[in-house]
Structure 1
Amino acid sequence: MYDAVVVGSGVVGLSIALELHSRGIKTAIVARDTAEDSTSIGFASPWAGCNWFSFANGSSDPAAEWDRITYHGLGKVAAERPDLCKKVPVWNVYERKKGPEDALWYKDFVTNYKDLESTRSHPLPGNKPYANYFETWILHAPNYTRYLGEKVKSLGIPIIRHRLSSIDEAYNLPSTGRVSLVINATGLGSKSLVGVEDDKVYPARGQTVLVKAPLVKDCIFHVEGFFAETDDDKDETAKAPPQAAYMIPRPGPEGHVVLGGHYRVGDWSTNADLKEAERILQDCYNLCPQLAGPNGKSWKDIEVVSHNVGLRPAREGGARLELEERRIGQVGSKDIIPGIVNSSKGRQVGIVHAYGVGGAGFQNSLGLAEKASDLAVKYLSKQTKAKL
């Protein structure tokens, strides 16, 4: 019935399904949480900030190519749906002056890139001494996820709500029939999904405050310590990096702005920490007092809409994007794994793994989808040739 099954319907899984469809590959999606589940904590996509702000470690990092492709590709999304995607200025402010070795790898292709120093006549946000300035894309995360889901369905790609017991089950579901290729876009699910069970996968807890602040039109970031992990055994005399703060105005008429700056490795809690929320509000106000409105006097005057927590699907060593060839029935006890009927035992199949992007899912989704689809096409072409 289908050429391939995508497992997972977050921004990565949906983007891959659309790319596969554009290449003529008949695709179905199987997922526990689906695009319309915008209040589900079962996946990260609805809770993202989100904007394009690359975390790639230099141009040689594979994620850099995914980010570059996505930066250019989001222009098409903005032209089609400006209520979901638009380009705005971003100010990345910092304390320590950087040298040529610290130059951002993407400065030559983002729009209007500049390195700035604060002056008395032109102070930078938060009165920070230095900044990188450029124009970037912002997305309305929950609405963009729903938009991708609606687009998928409009093209005849089914989204089948089903919780898999193992990855082997995905090759022989009653609703999709027998397939030889699965794309694993399960994010954090790859840590526990039988047949994948990747111990390198971990949650990186994020917490944001959604506020109403229609005067704020730009992204402002102060994220020098964003990825710093808490270590109780570290030298107490060492100077800790500043806690991160950022603000991302959402597209749309509501005047909503996402405030954040929280990254906690290995924390599975999805309950909002109000002490951390207060810290985020204070630090963001110090960067941009306009958050409190024209008559606001302090961070306490910011209009809070909601507190949100999401678990970024991170992975030690970076995201996993690779094609694995395997045989059905090689996980656990093959006699008790659902979906492994007698005719499927030992069958040679392929799986494209595309997970572990952490907080970069939206900003590299189009590039990751392109590269994952390249691997899928390569495998399916090899299978077709083998049958001739």
Structure 2
Amino acid sequence: MASTSESQQSKHIVVIGAGIVGLTTALKIQEQEGYKVTIVAEQFCTDPKNVRYTSLWAGGHHVSHAEGDARLTKIDQDTFKVMWEQSAPGSDAEHIFLRLPQTEYYFDGRDSHLEWMPDFKKLSADSLVLEAKSGVTFTTVTFDTSLYLPYLLSRFLGKGGKIIRQPLQHINQIAEGGINPFLPAQAGKNLADAIVACPGLGARTLGGIEDKDVYPIRGQIVILRAPWIKFGRTTSELSTGLWTYIIPRRGGDVIVGGTKLENDWYPVARPETTVDILTRGLALCPELAPPEIRAQRAPTIDDLYPIIVEEGCGFRPGRRGGIRHDTEWIDSAKGKIPLVFNYGHAGAGFQSSWGSANVAVELLLNALKNGPEKA
């Protein structure tokens, strides 16, 4: 990154939100020389799983949804580069990742925009399954979200970052009251030089943002114990949103999904959806059933129930208009300070996390360098 000038020393930055986007962005800023970062959030990855913290429910593989969009492709490519390095043998995060072959089947026959992935190949017509009209294979990574998120948080804290567990009602509580305005002894002290908003679905209601283009996309998954699965498979059709995926993790669990239900706020797994997910998953990947069963007969979804680890759902933070990356200047106790936005990733939070953090950091550094008069 650019060298740090004297005016950048000891800048206090508050990142709002501790999901995958907030954690990655906070870590990226904390690693800049001369910056002190505090994450303010109501939920953290170390809390018990619940529907209000979506990142823990993510399937956890890197398959870009950019569909040829140049900006989003760059963001996803930057992220994949980091994750590929993190998954390298001997890295401190190797245990979190699994490098594996991935197969994508398309029911709508579209061309893939994933030529940049390792070992990319188009499938021949005779190798397609179900009613797929086209498909590709490549090498990618999967990751265990229950390990990856704490890994990022640990790195952030190890670099000197701080966290405050506190629900916010309005951006101005930080802008006027400082990094921790909810403690009377701290109110008005340790004023923020900038705020980076990564509130996910919270952008819909957080005062000072209240982005009504943000909406939930409910995703339900089933986690199976199937350590014999060492490949990923997905079927999709853009026009209908039909989407089935098989995502194995290094530890032996397999994520089977899924759903994309807009403005569906139901907070727990629906039994009938679990049946649908298992039915679609088994059709796509009969290998999900235990090998001893497949050796005797064709498997059914009843053979999958004994290996269910967990069912659950999360609300992906969708946004009409896509990811929001821009800067506003707001009044604070220190005068005008930048408010940088980084939210609206829908189901692409993990695969765009590092690239999005790069964009947010660039916006932040430019704002602090140039001031409001050049915004």
State the TM bucket, normalised to the shorter chain: 0.7 to 0.9
Give the alignment partner of residue 300 of structure 2, picking from 298, 301, 304. 298
Aligned equivalent of 1:237: none
Quick check: 1:178 aligned with 2:194? no
Aligned equivalent of 2:323: 319
CA distance in 2, matches of 1:30, 1:228: 37
Aligned equivalent of 1:366: 354
Please report how far the alpha carbon of residue 118 of structure 1 lies from its aligned counterpart in structure 2 after TM superposition: 4.2
Please report how far the alpha carbon of residue 375 of structure 1 lies from its aligned counterpart in structure 2 after TM superposition: 0.7
Seen in structure 2, the aligned counterparts of structure 1 residues 375 and 7 have a Cα distance that, compared at 3 Å, is same
- The AA in structure 2 aligned to 1:114 is K
2:203–2:214: 8 Å Cα contact kept in structure 1? yes
- Over residues 325-371 of structure 1, what are the superposed CA-to-partner deviations in whole Å (9 max), with x where a residue is unaligned? 1224xxxxxxxxxxxxxxx2x93121000001011010010100111
Quick check: 1:191 aligned with 2:204? yes
Aligned equivalent of 2:47: 37
- Over residues 86-124 of structure 1, what are the superposed CA-to-partner deviations in whole Å (9 max), with x where a residue is unaligned? 3211111134544xxx3x3331x21011111243xxx44
Give the gaps of 5 or more residues in structure 2. Answer: 1-9, 181-185, 294-298
Question: What is the aligned-residue RMSD (CA, Å)?
Answer: 2.1
Seen in structure 2, the aligned counterparts of structure 1 residues 371 and 116 have a Cα distance that, compared at 3 Å, is same
Please report how far the alpha carbon of residue 381 of structure 1 lies from its aligned counterpart in structure 2 after TM superposition: 1.7
Quick check: 1:208 aligned with 2:221? yes
2:64–2:351: 8 Å Cα contact kept in structure 1? yes
CA distance in 1, matches of 2:372, 2:160: 24
Quick check: 1:19 aligned with 2:28? yes
Seen in structure 2, the aligned counterparts of structure 1 residues 320 and 95 have a Cα distance that, compared at 3 Å, is closer
Seen in structure 2, the aligned counterparts of structure 1 residues 192 and 97 have a Cα distance that, compared at 3 Å, is closer
- The AA in structure 2 aligned to 1:265 is E
- The AA in structure 2 aligned to 1:290 is E
- The AA in structure 1 aligned to 2:167 is R
- Over residues 30-84 of structure 1, what are the superposed CA-to-partner deviations in whole Å (9 max), with x where a residue is unaligned? 1111121251322211110011111113142x22211010011112211322221
1:35–1:148: 8 Å Cα contact kept in structure 2? no
CA distance in 2, matches of 1:282, 1:57: 28
CA distance in 2, matches of 1:190, 1:35: 19
> In the comparison of the two structures, how many residue pairs are matched?
345
Please report how far the alpha carbon of residue 223 of structure 1 lies from its aligned counterpart in structure 2 after TM superposition: 1.3
Please report how far the alpha carbon of residue 322 of structure 1 lies from its aligned counterpart in structure 2 after TM superposition: 0.7
Runs (4+) of structure 1 exceeding 6 A deviation are none
1:2–1:177: 8 Å Cα contact kept in structure 2? no
- Over residues 289-328 of structure 1, what are the superposed CA-to-partner deviations in whole Å (9 max), with x where a residue is unaligned? 1101113321211121110100001100101011111224
Seen in structure 2, the aligned counterparts of structure 1 residues 38 and 148 have a Cα distance that, compared at 3 Å, is farther
Quick check: 1:347 aligned with 2:347? no
Aligned equivalent of 2:80: 71
Structure 1 segment 142-181 matched on structure 2, within 5 A: 142-171=146-175, 172-174=178-180, 177-181=190-194
- Over residues 235-259 of structure 1, what are the superposed CA-to-partner deviations in whole Å (9 max), with x where a residue is unaligned? xxxxxxxx3211100122xx11000
CA distance in 2, matches of 1:96, 1:191: 33
- The AA in structure 1 aligned to 2:269 is A
Give the gaps of 5 or more residues in structure 1. Answer: 230-242, 329-343
Aligned equivalent of 1:258: 255
CA distance in 1, matches of 2:285, 2:72: 31
- The AA in structure 2 aligned to 1:298 is T
Quick check: 1:3 aligned with 2:12? yes
1:208–1:258: 8 Å Cα contact kept in structure 2? yes
CA distance in 1, matches of 2:107, 2:347: 24
Scaled by the length of structure 2, the TM-score of the pair is: 0.87
- Determine helix, strand or coil for the equivalent of 1:177: coil
Seen in structure 2, the aligned counterparts of structure 1 residues 135 and 260 have a Cα distance that, compared at 3 Å, is same
Aligned equivalent of 2:236: 223
CA distance in 1, matches of 2:232, 2:372: 48
Give the alignment partner of residue 102 of structure 2, picking from 90, 103, 125. 90
1:204–1:358: 8 Å Cα contact kept in structure 2? yes
- The AA in structure 2 aligned to 1:279 is D
Quick check: 1:140 aligned with 2:137? no
Aligned equivalent of 2:265: 268
- Determine helix, strand or coil for the equivalent of 1:18: helix
Quick check: 1:282 aligned with 2:279? yes
Seen in structure 2, the aligned counterparts of structure 1 residues 97 and 39 have a Cα distance that, compared at 3 Å, is closer
- The AA in structure 2 aligned to 1:67 is D
- The AA in structure 2 aligned to 1:29 is I
- Determine helix, strand or coil for the equivalent of 2:367: helix
Seen in structure 2, the aligned counterparts of structure 1 residues 384 and 287 have a Cα distance that, compared at 3 Å, is closer
Give the alignment partner of residue 106 of structure 1, picking from 105, 114, 127. 114
Percent identity (aligned): 30
- The AA in structure 1 aligned to 2:30 is H
